[in-house]
Structure 1
Amino acid sequence: MSAADFLPRSSLSSLIDLLQQQGYRVVGPQVIDGAILYRPLQQADQLPAGIEQIQQPGQYRLIRTQGPRLFSWANGPQALKPLTFAPRETLWRSHLQADGSLRFEEVIETTEPTAVLGVRGCDLAALSLQDQHFSGDPYYQQRRDSLLLIAVDCSHPADTCFCASTGDGPDARAGYDLALVELDDGYRIRAGSPKGQSLMDNLPLDAATPEQQQQTDEQHQKACQQQRHLPAFEPSRLIHQGQHPIWDSLAEACLSCGNCTSVCPSCFCFSESEVPELDGTTSGHQRQWDSCFSEGHSYIHGHRFRPDTKSRYRQWLTHKFGSWVEQYGRSGCTGCGRCISWCPVGIDPLEALTELGREDVE
């Protein structure tokens, strides 16, 4: 960090004002219906002051404290994914012409520059995976290019978090324009891009004191120590453990609801469909989020390759933690823990990986 890298808590509004002056729509975390969600942000007092959380398998609950901090929580159900990979979008439209032919029209909506405040390290790592998968996709790329990302290092990990053991947190390590470390009296700031450095140059920063530097180090160490750990297993072996008894016990509990894939910041499955207009002459070709837990996801030429919950859960876990390594050079999991918290029956994939790892040892 530079010599002048401390922003007093009372001056956080100057960062939001600066972003708005530069033409950005600012989006930040807010408490909506009992959860932390990204919403348009006009001023700092919209941020979740004094909010902490309880997250356990199948449980997510916010608690209010008297503390001054605005980012004393790990995450909510919504990562960056909805801002780049739209839940539903029209890719093109077809129009019936007078001579009976069809005219096709590509649909790419313009996206305004958007600054996202409060991004976590685990979600930046997931965004990097999304970037690999959607490379060359103009719909994704336009939204991705419009983002300016302001990360906040996680100081209050949930009981479901394990980003330190995946190498993706609790600090933001790459992919951000600006990163903040929230302390009791303000924010340490570091730039990760020329855009971020330009913002720093225009903020009323002070030099951090030795006490603030010490608090930064101690806070990071504590956030790492408080987390769970990813169990030992061999990714290349997962796909070959299809007969392990753990799949039967998981299938008995799993509802195939797809919650885990919906809240996962890196999952990218989608389906496409034709949506005709009532006039009978126009139709839109839509892409929308799908899940490997849905019945139709594995349908090919009259056959479902994964007809039951057992095969679907096995596909999700072995792909996320196993074959993804071959595809993208790393696991598809960034340790955010959302799939644990937001599973309605409290299934914990780390427990399954522990059992599969024991099988490897034996």
Structure 2
Amino acid sequence: MGDIRILQPSGLDSLIGVLHERGYRVVGPTLRGDAIVTGEIRAASDLPQGVGDLQDAKTYRLHERGDQAYFGFAAPAQSSKPVFFPAEEVVWRGRRDHDNDGHFTVERDAVDEPPVALLGVRSCDLRAVQIHDQVLAGRSHIDAHYVGRRDGTFVVAVACSDPAASCFCASMGTGPRPAENDPQTGAPSYDLLLTEVLADGDHRFILEVGTDRGADVVAALAASGAPVTRGTDADQADAIAVTDAAAALQTRVVDTAHVHDVLRASAESPRWEDVASRCLACTNCTLVCPTCFCTTVQDVSDLTGDSAERHRVWDSCFSESFSYIHGGPTRESTKARYRQWITHKLSSWEDQFGMLGCVGCGRCITWCPAGIDITEEAAALGRMSGLATPAATT
């Protein structure tokens, strides 16, 4: 058994307070309008207590749960990606120096923000952050802005107890319980792991310590008089039972043993015409995906021409202009663009980075206005290619 504690719900405010005292900007799930989003958390009252979600193909609704669960929903509408990799940011600023023959002085924009504490991050989204660590910070040319925001992150993960109908993290090996260590680097995945248990009127959090930093925060909680006590093997077993039950509820699957080869063998499959007839190329799936990292740049200047900025903004491989080179786009058709997206996610991403580019969060299914299901498309390609893949449930 590791270091197991029991935290009463009234101790969440103390946990958030300890993180603030250590200089962290606490970010987690919160209500905004009719959606649960990722935003700044100042107190436990900012969390979506008593709120659940209904997610399925082209469906997203919130509902009152009838209990006081703080994390009784599948996942926020958007992942933690924008925390470290925002949808738009300034790369550099330039200004004309009239005292120096009108030459431009260019300054790179630098990240100057406090470290982040991710509170309530789900296993699928935590795995997506780890994937970005490899893609954006683990290669020879790092993304300095990403690294500046990501460095020093404190992670309070939450084990998932209420998956949506669109979730398939269990088949991807990315949830509902987070792995103790990053499978690529071996580094601890989280500092603290919370599992919310509601049974027979008992409402508590089973808290598992993953790092020395996590142990330090737990010690500070205890010193502050917060309601945290020692746990047992039985408590950890209760936590694992919660996520085992959540995994058993999931009906959508991707056959990860074969999907890489299925996509490689399906370049000319007639299935691409079928899905293209339904796809609107609206880019929703890429914009909500926690691992997509495609960007473009936009240069702007003032009317005088004395100042200019370069902005990096999210882009999508579903946009015709994304693959534009001299003479026109490389991928002119929706068929080609959908094929590029799913093939990268479930096949060539593994060739590039040694892992799949999908974490099974299901957001692309939820937010697709046409209800296109990546698990069903992968399964259909598998059937047509002659390689066995489990049928997806839609």
- CA displacement at 1:97 relative to structure 2: 3.4
SS for the counterpart of 1:297 is helix
Q: 2:259 touches 2:346 (CA, 8 Å); kept in 1?
A: no
How many angstroms apart in 2 are the aligned matches of 1:90 and 1:124? 26
Query: For residue 244 of structure 1, what is the aligned residue in structure 2?
Result: 269
Q: Which runs of 5+ in 2 are unaligned?
A: 182-188, 223-227, 388-394
1:179 and 2:193 matched:
yes
1:220 has 2:243 as partner: yes
CA contact (8 A) 1:254 1:309 kept: yes
| 2:65 maps to 1:65 | yes
1:188 counterpart = 2:206: yes
CA distance in 2, matches of 1:3, 1:287: 43
Give me the whole-angstrom Cα distance separating, in 2, the residues matched to 1:188 and 1:320. 34
Q: TM-score when scaled to structure 1? A: 0.95
1:293 paired with 2:318, answer yes
| Residue aligning to 1:355 | 380
What is the alpha-carbon distance in structure 2 between the residues aligned to residue 302 and residue 33 of structure 1? 44
Which residue identity does 1:229 align to in structure 2? V
CA deviation profile, 1:25-64 (whole Å, cap 9, x unmatched) = 2222111111111222221122111111111100011110
Select the residue among 363, 366, 369 that pairs with 1:338. 363
Instruction: State the secondary structure of the residue aligned to 1:110.
Output: coil
Shift of 1:213: 4.2
Paired AA for residue 151 in structure 1: A
1:158 alignment partner, one of 141, 156, 164:
164
Correspondence list, 1:187-336, <5 A? 187-204=205-222, 205-208=228-231, 212-227=235-250, 228-231=252-255, 233-336=258-361
* Number of residue equivalences: 362
Question: Following the alignment from structure 2 to structure 1, what is the Cα–Cα distance between the partners of residues 15 and 363?
Answer: 29
**What is the distance in 2 between the residues matched to 1:276 and 1:92?**
12
| Counterpart contact for 1:13–1:43, Cα < 8 Å | yes
Tell me whether 1:19 sits opposite 2:19 in the alignment: yes
Contact conserved, 1:27 with 1:39, CA < 8 A, in 2? yes
1:4 is displaced (CA, Å) by 5.0
d(CA) in 2 for partners of 1:168, 1:197: 25
Aligned to 1:88: 88
Distance in 2 between residues matched to 1:187 and 1:79, nearest whole Å:
23
1:260-301 residue CA offsets vs partner (Å, 9 max, x unmatched): 001100000000121112221111111100000112100011
Mapped to 2, the partners of 1:4 and 1:55 lie a distance apart of 32
Which 5+ residue runs of structure 1 have no aligned equivalent? none
Name the amino acid aligned to 2:299.
E
Give the Cα separation in 1 of the matches to 2:85 and 2:152. 13
Q: In terms of mean alpha carbon deviation, does 88-97 or 307-316 score higher?
A: 88-97
Distance apart, 1:102 and its partner CA: 2.8
In 2, Cα distance between equivalents of 1:348 and 1:4: 39
| RMSD, aligned α-carbons | 1.7
Fraction of identical pairs, as percent:
40
Offset, 1:78: 1.2
Asked if residue 126 in structure 1 is aligned to residue 128 in structure 2, the reply is yes
Give the letter aligned to residue 44 of structure 2: A
Greater alpha carbon shift after TM alignment, 161-170 vs 94-103: 94-103
Evaluate the alpha carbon distance shift between residue 234 and residue 11 of structure 1 in structure 2; reply closer, same or farther with a 3 A threshold.
closer
Does the aligned pair in 1 maintain the 2:163–2:246 contact within 8 Å?
yes
Tell me if the contact between 1:93 and 1:106 (Cα under 8 Å) persists in the aligned partners: yes
Q: Secondary structure, in 3 states, of the residue corresponding to 2:127?
A: helix
Distance 1:109 1:301, change over 3 A: same
The Cα of 1:165 is off from its aligned counterpart by: 1.2
For residues 217 and 302 of structure 1, do their structure 2 counterparts lie closer, same or farther at Cα, with a shift above 3 Å needed?
same
Question: 2:70 and 2:160 mapped to 1: Cα distance?
Answer: 11
